[in-house]
Amino acid sequence: MLAALSSPGLAWAWLFLAGLLEVGWAIGLKYTDGFSRFWPSLLTIVSMAASVLFLGMALKNLPLGTAYAIWTGIGTLGTALLGMWLFGEPATALRLACIGLILCGIVGLKLLA
């Protein structure tokens, strides 16, 4: 059963989930108020642990450099977009273009893997 959970086909799903959880903990950090709020802190720590766990599962079948770059890219992309939406961070054309370049890098690495 555990072998099925680490199959090459699932590696990309684990990596995507790890990236989404990275977004979750990055955004969660804002709500922890320096880890002084219990529930946001607990959820952030759980997200951190789960993100690294799923990244580790993905690394069983994916190259380290590719997986790590995609993981951080998903985290960067999601966190930047949610920062604009949730916290009113600037959404200038140049900033959005740079975020688009990160997305192109993620897609390019996936296609080349």
pLDDT at 2 over 60: no
The residue-averaged pLDDT of 10-36 equals 97
Share of the chain above pLDDT 90, in %: 91
Q: Sorting pLDDT into bands at 50, 70 and 90, what band is 3?
A: low
Average pLDDT, the chain: 95
User: Which pLDDT value is given to residue 113?
Assistant: 83
pLDDT tens profile 27-61: 999 999 999 999 999 999 999 999 999 999 999 99
The residue-averaged pLDDT of 61-81 equals 97
Cα–Cα distance for residue pair 30/40, rounded to 1 Å: 9
pLDDT at 9 over 60: yes
- CA-closest candidate to residue 53, choices 19, 30, 7: 19
Give the side-chain half-sphere CA count within 13 A for 54: 19
Instruction: Kindly compute the dihedral angle of the four CA atoms of residues 34, 82, 98, 89, in this order, to the nearest 10 degrees.
Output: -70
More confident residue, 5 or 1: 5
User: Which pLDDT value is given to residue 43?
Assistant: 98
In contact, 99 and 81? CB cutoff 8 Å:
yes
- CA-closest candidate to residue 59, choices 113, 104, 1: 113
